[in-house]
Amino acid sequence: MSNQLLDTFRELSNLPTTSFYEQKILEYIKTKLDSYKIEFHQDSWGNIFAEVNGKTPNEIVFISHTDHPGFEIISKHKKNIYLAKALGGLPKNCVTNQTNVKIISNKSDLYKGKIINFYSKENKKPKIPKNYRWMTSEFVLIESESENIKLPSFAVFDLPETKYFGERIVTPVADDLAGCALIIETLNKLNKSSNEYSFKAIFSRAEEVGLIGARLIAANELISKNSIIISIETSSELPGANFGKGPIIRTGDRLTTFDNKAELVLLQSVKEILRRDVNFAYQRQLMSEGGCEASAFAVFGYSVTGLALPLRNWHNGNEQGDVEPEEISLLDYENAYKIMTNLGKLDIVKIKDYFKNLMMIPEDAKKLINEE
Ligand SMILES: [Zn+2]
């Protein structure tokens, strides 16, 4: 496996990002696409669209998102203490543990800080189910080393840089920079081969606060309604969707059930890989913990499917709600790349070909004829 595949993820995942503050990721992606000579453009909301034309107009669209949960600094509370808004689901104990954060201002000014308290005007405790591991307060107070942080600025957990421990990739952000890295490297490979399918990629914005970039694209039909949409995501490990047992062909998410017609392209890709490698590891499951961008397209009538990497410490939270780095498996990551790049070798997949055997009535059916 090329180091490039790992390097791209490592470089991306060490850049700070959160919803609406995704500039560093967008810049990285654009620079990388340029260097790979892949055509791209940005829409008026900043979502990036890249494309690799194939021999036919049949189109497969990969989608990933460029943000990750974090905090938006709203205002100065007093002296070196700032009021910050939570963007996306964050582990609740970041407050009690006074977790360290990095504050990024003016694009690259960097300050250290720590979360010191919840902040709510009413000071009312919301009703929370037992064992709920997410923060329920919308605002926190962050103490910084500086009294002069310029707004706009944002904060992310101050976690160690991405490291590889054997089969484990331990990282500040797998969700969804692993998806972004997989798509960039897949396009680079597909761009060098001759493909039946045409491929597009979307790097969408502000997913963690309600799939915003994806909903804008789907609602405005910036992608053809005939396209097959494949969400490339990480998703919290589940029974039957285990870490290190292969990427998951995602049959649905928390919001919707996906589409058989779309899924067939992934199944066909896996089927062909299995012919060469009977031990190729993959899984198939409905990943119900989180919603993903496929759902934003599904509700507008698109044909959608997904590929998910089993994720540990989803949104940097462990089971108890303490802050930890996210984790994905090297094998899951590399096998997702294999499934994605192998799509370039496929003929156009048709339901009647894929399910030819299932559609044929077997000889044994004769035995069912009532002979009385
Ligand atoms: Zn995600």
| CATH number, domain with residue 34 | 3.40.630.10
Can you give the pTM of this predicted structure?
0.96
**Ligand 1 mean position, distance from CA 340 (Å):** 18
CA of 46 to the centre of ligand 1 (A): 18
Q: How many domains does the chain divide into?
A: 2
Q: Worst-scoring range by mean pLDDT, 31-35, 65-69, 368-372?
A: 368-372
Each residue of 107-116: pLDDT tens digit?
778 999 999 9
Instruction: Classify residue 349: in a domain, yes or no.
Output: yes
- Ligand 1 centroid, distance to 202 Cα (angstroms): 14
Co-location of 170 and 310 in the same domain: yes
Which amino acid appears at position 165 of this protein? F
Measure 73 CA to ligand 1 centroid, in angstroms. 22
Cα(356)–Cα(240) distance, integer angstroms: 28
**pLDDT band, very low/low/confident/very high, at 182 (cuts 50, 70, 90):** very high
CB atoms within 10 A of CB 335: 24
Q: Please indicate, yes or no, whether residues 227 and 304 belong to a single structural domain of this protein.
A: yes
Confidence band of 142 (pLDDT split at 50, 70, 90): very high
Containing structural domain, residue 300: 3-68+161-354
Distance 292 CA to ligand 1 centre (A): 6
Shared-domain flag, residues 191 and 321: yes
Given a cut of 80, whether residue 1 has pLDDT beyond it is no
Instruction: Please tell me the distance between residue 267's alpha carbon and the centre of ligand 1 in angstroms.
Output: 22
Tens-place pLDDT, residues 310-324: 999 999 999 999 999
Do 343 and 315 fall within a single domain?
A: yes
Same domain, 109 and 219: no
The alpha carbon of 173 and the centre of ligand 1 are apart by a number of angstroms equal to 10
For residue 66, the model assigns a pLDDT of: 98
Last residue of a domain, one of 154, 186, 209: 154
pLDDT at residue 123 in the model: 52
**Cα–ligand 1 centroid distance for 208 (angstroms):** 7
Separation of CA 68 and ligand 1 centre (Å): 7
Local structure of 234: helix, strand or coil: strand
372 domain-assigned: no
Q: Does residue 165 sit within a domain?
A: yes
**111 located within any domain:** yes
Q: Would you place residue 121 in the very low, low, confident or very high pLDDT band (cuts 50, 70, 90)?
A: low
Ion ligand 1 neighbours, Cβ < 5 Å:
175-176
Residue 76 lies in a domain: yes
- Which residues have C-beta within 8 Å of that of residue 308, sequence separation ≥ 6? 231, 233, 234, 235, 241, 247, 248, 250, 287, 292
Residue 370 pLDDT grade (very low, low, confident, very high; cuts 50, 70, 90)? confident
User: Cα(25)–Cα(239) distance, rounded to whole angstroms?
Assistant: 32
Please enumerate in sequence order all residues whose Cβ is within 8 A of that of 203, keeping only pairs 6 or more positions apart, or say none: 25, 26, 29, 47, 48, 50, 63, 64, 65, 66, 180, 183
Identify the burial level of 272 via C-beta atoms within 10 angstroms of its C-beta, where 0-12 means exposed, 13-18 middle and 19 or more buried.
middle
Per-residue CA distances from 167 to 7, 163, 170, 247, 312 (Å): 15, 11, 10, 14, 13
Q: Could you tell me if 302 and 195 lie in one domain? A: yes
How many Cβ atoms from other residues are within 10 Å of residue 118's Cβ? Answer: 18
Instruction: Give pLDDT, residue 130.
Output: 76
Asked whether residue 64 falls in the same domain as residue 104, the answer is no
Give the pLDDT mean for 334-348.
Answer: 98
Taking the centre of ligand 1 as the mean of its atom positions, its distance from the CA of residue 234, in whole angstroms, is 6
d(CA 95, CA 139): 11
Distance 67 CA to ligand 1 centre (A): 8
- 301 and 287 both lie in a single domain: yes
Indicate whether 176 and 286 sit together in one domain: yes
Asked if residue 371 is part of any domain, the answer here is no
- In the reported structure, the alpha carbon of residue 56 is separated from the centroid of ligand 1 by a whole-number distance in angstroms of 31
Tens of pLDDT, residues 351-364? 999 999 999 999 99
Q: Which of the 8 DSSP states describes residue 242?
A: -
Ligand 1 centre to CA of 284 (Å) is: 18
> Lowest mean pLDDT: which of 126-140, 214-228, 280-294?
126-140
User: Does 96 lie in the same domain as 40?
Assistant: no
pLDDT at 292 over 90: yes
Q: Say whether both 278 and 340 belong to one domain.
A: yes
370 lies in a domain?
no
Chain segment 56-101, per-residue pLDDT in tens:
999 999 999 999 999 999 999 999 999 999 999 999 999 999 999 9
Are 106 and 213 found together in one domain? no
**Residue finishing a domain among 103, 126, 154:** 154
Rounded distance from Cα 343 to ligand 1 centre (Å): 23
- Check if the beta carbon of residue 176 is closer than 8 Å to that of residue 153: no
Question: pLDDT of 5-21, one tens digit each?
Answer: 999 999 999 999 999 99
Return d(Cα 45, Cα 85) in angstroms, integer. 21
Ligand 1 centroid distance, CA of 125 (Å): 28
Mean pLDDT (the chain) is 95
- Residue 327 confidence (pLDDT) above 70: yes
